[in-house]
Structure 1
Amino acid sequence: MLPGADMLVGAVDNHVHCCPHINARSIDVLTAVRQAADAGMAAIGLMDNFCNTSGYAALAMRELGGLGVEVFGGLIMEPPAGGVSAEAARIALGYGYGAARDGARFISLPTHHTRFIARAEGRSPAYVEACLGIPERGELPDPLPEILDLIAERDVVLNTGHVSGPEAVRVVEAARARGVTRILVPSTHYDAETVRAVTAAGAIAEFSFFFLSHATQVGLTHVDAEKHTVDAVTLPQLAQLIRAAGPEHTILSGDCGVFVLPPPVEGFREFLLLVQSAGFGPEEMRAMSAANAARLFRVGELAA
């Protein structure tokens, strides 16, 4: 047994890129499910910047549900997937075969078409203007209020996507005010103060292997022909952010599937070993790799 393989048993990786895809991927969804089952994992969540993954998840459950891995999907509201649209969110929430476990388990704000990311990538002023921005004060821009109401009604997860730290805090507070109770904030590039703010407001902080890995050195095409790198974080920096959130408010995820990284199960194993080596104990690791994500995404709660 490889070191860390025991930590995969019962684990949930909510951030797996493995679907049929426009860019090179290391693995397809059915193979990803089989490998997760071989490792004894409880669930995987499918993410894709180009489409709603709920249909892939429903198909995987119909074909491979007997392997014991729960597969769920959702919508990242990038333009190719329908953009920031209440109609796109409504469709994603109902997509599947009609089972209670079908449909989007998460609706995410854009991960690339945000003004925060567009400015970081040096995009043109017209491009930046067309991306999602969260105002410092006042109401959230339409159709976000309607989308938040849909998320609250269906009791699924709001993922705040790749917005700035202050924008994430505003979104979490606005979402909570509209009745959203399940909120995940990708927090790897925030400072400790922001991480404390989003978790104090009722969200869970997510930290992913991708940003700790060598993939940060490669210019990747995420949403169009341009290739961009992202800033890497060190293990000490990541450990500090996890402690700012607290393991009880933290989810670890792989964010693997891109061709330069190991397949998702192996990448997740390596990540868990790295985080464990930063001084986190068995109960903390179990919370961050399994229990928190299972609770947030209602793994095992929904009937077939």
Structure 2
Amino acid sequence: MDHDPATPTFADALPPDFGRFLDGAFDLHAHGQPDLSASTMNRGPDIGVARLAHAYGMRGWVLKSHLWPTMDRAALVQRDLGDTPFDVLGSITLNPQVGGISPTAVGWAADHGAQVVFMPTWGASADVERWGYISRLLERQTATFAEYARAHAISALDARGALRPEVADTIAVCAERGLLLGTGHLSLDESHAVVELCRRLDVPVMLTHPLHFTDDPSQLHAFTRLGAYVELSSAPLINPESHHSVRDFADAIREIGPEHVVLSSDVFSRWVPPIPESLRTLAEQLHYLGCTPDELRRMLVVNPHALLRREVPEPRGAGAVQAQVAVQGSEAAA
């Protein structure tokens, strides 16, 4: 059935080459629905957003949750996508309610298909100390959260500043199982110790949210020299409580080099656009501020695939992306 022009689609509001920077992109930090609570419907279901992301030209994403492992949910979304060439990967975030930093939990997660492990987020001592955005949301949601978080706050280092044994053992499991590790909301000192061991064990590692803990991107050279990739996500730029701007990101990219950066979404609040549109907006703004198309492809496509140790896909081209949206618009109208 032909698309009825009286029935608008999301693509009707976009420029004709809207997919120019997302062709082949892989989002390593995509929050599902629900994340914190099923009663907080921030956007549509995972399968619908995944189809939209594919329409933008994206190749896949890592489904993340602050509360529960996502492997089984990722498998269901992947099944429902059928033959659509879009990969949905599962992950586990090592917050207190799943046992914290635990090699056993990571091994079980891998048995269920997890391909990415995130160190603690709201459960990290450094995040409890700063009482970040997620903690404030969970405090509103659950009356006992503040007491629970403070009682179970997780540090990756012992009193001497060395990695705790369970952290080293967890990283060793990541090495054995071929898993990507994200540093979560650990402090920069904790993250540096984690990254050092990841280098020794050949574990791909992504420094997550580093600008939460420093306004000086030159400090991040210590991580990139060890082979870590630095993640910059669109969520802090959209959050009304954030002090960051896209110029901060552009400055950080210029300081450490796009060859060391991955761009992700990390969005799930009610005020954000859909995941692919959030990424598209970030890419377009960075392009406006001087990032070249090749640099954006490096950060959105090449580097995420390198972290996942996957082959970089060939570009589909803007025409194919637009055609995909037109087809999906017709199906929706039907």
Q: Shorter-chain TM-score category?
A: 0.7 to 0.9
Q: Which residue of 2 aligns with 1:105?
A: 115
Larger RCO, structure (CA 8 Å, separation 6 or more): 2
For residue 16 of structure 1, give the secondary structure of its aligned residue in structure 2.
strand
Match of 1:200 in 2: 225
CA contact (8 A) 2:94 2:118 kept: yes
TM-score by length of 2: 0.77
**Is residue 243 from structure 1 mapped to residue 291 from structure 2 by the alignment?**
no
Larger Rg: 2
Q: C-alpha root-mean-square deviation of aligned residues, in Å?
A: 2.2
Letter in 2 for 1:164: S
> Contact 1:61–1:71 at 8 Å: present in 2 too?
yes
Select the residue among 29, 40, 60 that pairs with 2:77. Answer: 60
Cα distance in structure 2, aligned partners of 1:74 and 1:127 = 21
Task: Verify: 1:13 aligned to 2:34, yes or no.
Answer: no
Q: Deviations over 1:45-70 (max 9, x none)?
A: 11101111111222222221411111
Q: Which residue of 1 aligns with 2:126?
A: 116
C-alpha contact (below 8 Å) 2:32/2:63 kept by paired residues: yes
Q: CA deviation at 1:175?
A: 2.5
Higher alpha-carbon deviation: 55-64 or 281-290: 55-64
Please tell me whether the aligned partners of residues 258 and 298 of structure 2 are also in contact (alpha carbons under 8 angstroms).
yes
Q: 2:82 & 2:177 partners in 1: Cα distance?
A: 23
Instruction: Give SS of 1:7's match.
Output: coil
Equivalence for 1:257: 268
State the distance in 1 between where 2:230 and 2:258 align: 9
Contact preservation (8 Å) 2:35, 2:66: no
**Residue type at the aligned position of 2:44:** I
Matches within 5 A, 1:1-304: 1-2=14-15, 4-23=18-37, 24=40, 25-95=42-112, 103-121=113-131, 127-128=149-150, 130-135=152-157, 137-177=160-200, 179-186=201-208, 187-189=210-212, 190=214, 191-213=216-238, 215-217=239-241, 231-299=242-310
- The CA distance in 1 between the partners of 2:156 and 2:173, in whole Å, is 19
Instruction: Give the paired residue count.
Output: 279
**AA at the equivalent of 1:107:** V
Cα distance in 2 for residues equivalent to 1:94 and 1:64: 22
Alpha-carbon distance in structure 2 between the residues aligned to 1:140 and 1:162:
16
Check the 8 A contact 2:128/2:150 in 1, yes or no.
yes
Deviations 1:21-60 (CA, angstroms, capped at 9, x unpaired): 4432312211121111211211111110111111122222
State the 1:236 CA deviation: 2.0
Contact 1:49–1:80 at 8 Å: present in 2 too?
no
Paired AA for residue 198 in structure 1: F
Contact kept? 2:54, 2:86, Cα under 8 Å:
yes
- Do the aligned partners of residues 36 and 153 (structure 1) sit closer, same or farther apart at CA in structure 2, a change above 3 Å counting? same
1:285 is displaced (CA, Å) by 0.5
8 Å contact kept, 1:158–1:180? no
The 10-residue stretch of structure 1 (152-161 or 114-123) with the greater mean CA deviation from structure 2? 114-123
**Shift in alpha-carbon separation, 1:19–1:94, aligned structure 2, 3 A:** farther
Amino acid at match of 2:205: I
Q: Which secondary structure does the structure 2 equivalent of 1:73 belong to?
A: strand
Give the residue type in structure 2 aligned to 1:91: W
Task: Tell me the alpha carbon deviations over residues 50-99 of structure 1, each in whole angstroms, 9 at most, x when there is no partner.
Answer: 1111112222222214111111121111123332222211111111xxxx
Contact between 2:62 and 2:88, CA under 8 Å: does it hold in 1? yes
Structure 1 spans left out of the alignment, 5+ residues: 96-102, 218-230
Contact 2:115/2:180, CA 8 A, preserved across alignment: yes
Amino acid corresponding to residue 172 of structure 1 in structure 2: V
Post-superposition offset of 1:130: 2.8
